[in-house]
């Protein structure tokens, strides 16, 4: 009996020893694997892998700067335009001809599904732009034929032709001069696709793959995508600039705010998007909280096609009934600026003379009576399910608005869907009112006015108020046709005054964009506008080791 027991004990001992050694070696190799990789906890799934097709920040974050490049890009603190795929460019004096000279050493991604045989040339650029501009282009209608950003700014009316001068030179012919044209070409949406890949897909009759299995020129290439779960990128070893320091980049899609923070605290992700509980992160010595002043606005919009919001008085009444200061305090923890109109004060077209919205429930109530709703009414309020820089917690904001509006007799029902469904249904116009926002894609103020509220944007689905005002449209068009800053500023002031009077939406706040990371991850990720970029990210392993010993000490 005793001997058998001893034997059993021995077995157990050996077994546990082997398990232990397994663990030991495991830790070692994981570190080597994790030293070469970065996990980013993202807040949502991308809708597609082609930024041309969307305006949603989540998709831009996952695609633009990781997979693709543009002809030109922004650089530095003052956001000067700098060469990217185009090594230089030239604009004629009348501003109607813009010529780009391309780099000759840019390869496309080699992936499981495509092997390029040639480098980037003019055909790729022309393909990328004509796909959006020409309705008869074979790829125009693939994935729905919606190119919201460029349709909002009416690029097809601006660009007459994209001409190929030679293999590495292309020229844009414009119908009129446009002061924001170059700025728009430097946005995250003006990416360059591979014409050769498109050709291959046409032969294989799999055109739709161009947007789901992307091929670009960017620092990373797509390895794997599991819907709602993860995106895996590999380093593009043939990148035309210096390759990235990390070999693998994984987007861990974690819509839950608490989930992202938990993963950050448990060291399951290196960088996390839109962290909550900032105090908690600051308390941790091995975590860093970063913020960047972003050009954005969070707002409360109305679907003016749906009663009772087709009535201007109702919209005004609601704007008087909402206590924005409380929203700022409770939702943004006082860390945002109160928005009086679309533009934040960092924009050069910001106008101080636009008055602050008054909080006046009595006036609101009387306006409601004039509008014919003395008893109030019931409305739906759609609140975003995810954190965005312009609105860190739309559900809480909705609850506060619910209380505010109850005071003037309006009953609010809060509605929320999964992020992509939410956006999709908004585009269809199923909502009555909604909480959303806009993050600028480039520093030009037009990027607020055209995509958010112009008539053409009602068709593309980026203006989900469906408010269409001819006077407003004329003014923002005029503002584009001049390069005189003073004049443009005046036009934009007029436009903002119209918005204040008509109230298609109530601007609420301009906020910062936050991000948190472990101290061992270096390199900038955030930018003041547009999507994030992991190009410069690296892992500092000696720091990592230091942290480890620290942790051990604590244990």
Partner 1 sequence: MARDKIYLEEVFPSPFMQLWQIFRKTPVAMVGFSCFIFLIILAVFGPILAPHSPIEGQLDMLLLPPAWHVDGNVSYLLGTDELGRDMLSRLMYGTSLTFGLSFIVVVISLVIGVVIGSLSALTSGIKSSFLNHFLDVILSIPSLLLAIIIVAILGPGISNTVWAVVMVLIPQFIHITRYAVKEESKKDYVLASKLDGANPFRILYYSIFPNIVDRIMSQATLAQSAAILDIATLGFLGLGAQIPLPEWGAILANGLDLFYIAPWTVYLPGLAILFAVVATNLVGEGIRHALKLRKER
Partner 2 sequence: MLIFTFRRLNLFIFTMLLLTLLSFSLSFLFPGDAIINISGAINATPSQLIEIQNAYKTDSNIFWQYIAYLSHIANGDLGLSMASQSKISTEVLNLLPATIELSLVALFIAMFIGIPLGFIAAIKHNKTADNVILSISMLGYSIPVFWLGLLAILTFSISLGWFPSAGQISLLFEIELVTGIQFIDILISDSPYKWQAFADASAHVILPASVIAVAPATIFIRLARTSMIEVLETSYIRAASAKGLTFQQIIFRHAIRNALIKIIRHVGLQFANLVTIAMVTEVIFSWPGIGRWLIESIYQRDYTAIQSGLLVLSCFIFVVHILTDFIYAALNPLARGNKYGS
- List the beta strands (DSSP E) in 418-511: 433-439, 505-510
Exactly one of 396, 477, 481, 500 binds partner 1 (CB under 8 A); which one?
396
Near partner 2 in 221-240, by CB under 8 A: 223-224, 227-230, 232
Smallest Cα–Cα separation from 218: which of 51, 19, 465, 430? Answer: 51
Residue closer to partner 1 (CB basis): 108 or 419 = 419
> Which residue carries 């125009």 as its tokens?
140
Contact 106, 147 (CB under 8 A): no
Residue closer to partner 1 (CB basis): 36 or 425 = 425
Q: Does 403 bind partner 1 (CB under 8 A)?
A: yes
Query: Which residues are within 8 A (CB) of 406 and not within 5 positions of it... i.e. 6 or more apart?
Result: 412
Residue 403's binding partner out of partner 2, partner 1, none, with CB under 5 to 8 Å set by partner kind: partner 1
Q: Does 418 bind partner 2 (CB under 8 A)?
A: yes
Near partner 1 in 238-257, by CB under 8 A: 256-257
Residue closer to partner 1 (CB basis): 249 or 327 = 327
Q: Where are the alpha helices (DSSP H) in 36-164?
A: 57-67, 122-133, 148-152, 155-158
Residue 462's binding partner out of partner 1, partner 2, none, with CB under 5 to 8 Å set by partner kind: none
Query: Which residues are within 8 A (CB) of 142 and not within 5 positions of it... i.e. 6 or more apart?
Result: 207, 208, 210, 211
Strands 411-415 and 505-510, sheet pairing: unpaired
Residue closer to partner 1 (CB basis): 195 or 509 = 509
Near partner 2 in 12-31, by CB under 8 A: 22-23, 25-26, 29-30
- Cα-based distances in Å from 395 to 190, 236, 416, 427, 510: 33, 40, 8, 20, 18
Q: How far is the CB of 91 from partner 1 (least distance, A)?
A: 49
Read off the tokens for 480. 């584009």
Residue closer to partner 2 (CB basis): 36 or 459 = 36
Alpha-carbon distance of 38 to 250, in angstroms, equals: 6
Residue 252's binding partner out of partner 2, partner 1, none, with CB under 5 to 8 Å set by partner kind: partner 2
Q: Does 421 bind partner 1 (CB under 8 A)?
A: no
Exactly one of 341, 393, 420, 460 binds partner 1 (CB under 8 A); which one?
393
Exactly one of 155, 162, 210, 261 binds partner 1 (CB under 8 A); which one?
261
Smallest Cα–Cα separation from 131: which of 114, 156, 107, 154? Answer: 156
Q: Does 145 bind partner 2 (CB under 8 A)?
A: no
Stretch that binds partner 2, among 154-162, 320-328, 345-353, 417-425 (CB under 8 A): 417-425
Residue closer to partner 2 (CB basis): 107 or 145 = 145
Query: Which residues are within 8 A (CB) of 497 and not within 5 positions of it... i.e. 6 or more apart?
Result: 354
Stretch that binds partner 2, among 134-142, 262-270, 389-397, 400-408 (CB under 8 A): 262-270
Q: Does 399 bind partner 1 (CB under 8 A)?
A: yes
The 3-state secondary structure of 157-222 reads HHEEEEEEEECCEEEEEECCCCCCHHHHHCCCCCECCCHHHHHHHHHHCCCCHHHHCCCCCCCEEE
Q: How far is the CB of 288 from partner 2 (least distance, A)?
A: 18
Q: Does 37 bind partner 2 (CB under 8 A)?
A: yes
What burial letters (b/e) apply to 171-206, b meaning 16+ CB within 10 Å?
bbebeebbbbbbbbbbbbbbbbbbbbbbebbeeeee
Q: Does 266 bind partner 1 (CB under 8 A)?
A: no
Near partner 1 in 313-342, by CB under 8 A: 326, 329-330
Exactly one of 259, 361, 376, 429 binds partner 2 (CB under 8 A); which one?
259
Alpha-carbon distance of 267 to 462, in angstroms, equals: 37
3-class secondary-structure state, position 431: coil
Interhelix angle 324-331/394-406, rounded to 10 degrees, is: 150
Read off the tokens for 521. 């991850």
Q: Does 250 bind partner 2 (CB under 8 A)?
A: yes
Q: How far is the CB of 309 from partner 1 (least distance, A)?
A: 22
Residue 257's binding partner out of partner 1, partner 2, none, with CB under 5 to 8 Å set by partner kind: partner 1
Strands 521-522 and 505-510, sheet pairing: unpaired
Contact code string over 266-285 relative to partner 2, x by CB under 8 A: xxx-----------------
Contact footprint for partner 1 (CB under 8 A): 256-258, 261, 265, 276-277, 279-280, 326, 329-330, 393, 395-396, 399-400, 402-403, 414
Contact footprint for partner 2 (CB under 8 A): 22-23, 25-26, 29-30, 33-34, 37, 39, 223-224, 227-230, 232, 248, 250, 252, 254, 256, 259, 262-263, 265-268, 417-418, 420-421, 551, 555
């Amino acid at each position: 009996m005793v001997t058998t027991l001893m034997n059993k004990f021995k077995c157990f001992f050996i077994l546990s020893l082997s398990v232990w050694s397994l663990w030991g070696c495991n830790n070692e190799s994981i570190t080597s694997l994790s030293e070469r990789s970065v996990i980013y906890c993202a807040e949502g799934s991308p809708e597609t892998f082609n930024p041309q097709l969307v305006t949603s920040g989540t998709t831009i974050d996952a695609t633009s700067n990781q997979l693709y490049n543009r002809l030109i890009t922004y650089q530095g603190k003052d956001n000067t335009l700098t060469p990217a795929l185009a090594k230089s460019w030239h604009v004629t004096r009348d501003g109607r001809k813009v010529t780009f000279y391309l780099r000759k050493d840019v390869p496309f991604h080699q992936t499981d599904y495509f092997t390029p045989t040639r480098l980037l040339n003019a055909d790729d650029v022309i393909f990328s732009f004509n796909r959006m501009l020409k309705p008869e282009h074979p790829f125009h209608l693939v994935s729905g034929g919606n190119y919201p950003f460029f349709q909002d700014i009416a690029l097809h009316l601006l660009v007459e032709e994209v001409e190929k001068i030679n293999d590495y030179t292309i020229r844009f012919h414009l119908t009129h001069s446009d002061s924001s044209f170059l700025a728009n070409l430097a946005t995250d949406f003006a990416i360059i696709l591979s014409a050769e890949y498109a050709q291959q897909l046409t032969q294989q009759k799999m055109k739709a793959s161009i947007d789901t299995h992307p091929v670009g020129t960017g620092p990373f290439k797509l390895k794997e995508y599991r819907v709602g779960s993860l995106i895996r990128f590999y380093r593009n070893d043939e990148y035309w600039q210096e390759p990235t320091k990390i070999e693998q980049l994984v987007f861990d899609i974690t819509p839950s705010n608490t989930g992202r923070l938990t993963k950050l605290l448990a060291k399951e992700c290196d960088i996390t998007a839109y962290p909550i509980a900032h105090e908690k992160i600051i308390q941790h010595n091995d975590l860093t909280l970063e913020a960047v002043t972003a050009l954005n606005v969070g707002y409360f919009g109305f679907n003016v096609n749906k009663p009772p919001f087709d009535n201007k008085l109702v919209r005004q009444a609601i704007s008087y009934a909402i206590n924005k200061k409380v929203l700022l305090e409770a939702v943004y923890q006082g860390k945002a600026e109160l928005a009086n109109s679309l533009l934040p004060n960092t924009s050069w077209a910001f106008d101080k003379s636009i008055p602050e919205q008054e909080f006046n429930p009595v006036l609101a109530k009387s306006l409601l009576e004039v509008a014919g709703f003395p008893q109030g009414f019931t409305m739906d309020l759609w609140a975003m399910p995810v954190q965005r820089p312009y609105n860190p917690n739309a559900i809480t904001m909705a609850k506060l608005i619910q209380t505010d509006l109850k005071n003037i007799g309006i009953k609010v029902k809060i509605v929320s869907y999964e992020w992509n469904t939410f956006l999709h249904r908004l585009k269809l116009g199923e909502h009555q009112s909604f909480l959303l926002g806009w993050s600028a894609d480039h520093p030009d103020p037009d990027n607020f006015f055209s995509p958010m509220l112009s008539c053409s944007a009602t068709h593309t689905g980026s203006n989900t108020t469906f408010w269409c005002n001819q006077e407003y449209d004329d003014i923002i068009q005029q503002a584009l046709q001049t390069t005189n800053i003073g004049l443009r500023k005046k036009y934009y002031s007029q436009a903002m005054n119209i918005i204040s009077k008509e109230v298609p939406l109530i601007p609420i706040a301009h906020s910062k964009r936050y991000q948190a990371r472990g101290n061992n991850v270096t390199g900038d990720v955030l930018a003041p506008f547009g999507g994030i970029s992991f190009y410069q990210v690296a892992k500092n392993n000696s720091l990592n080791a230091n942290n480890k010993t620290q942790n051990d000490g604590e244990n």
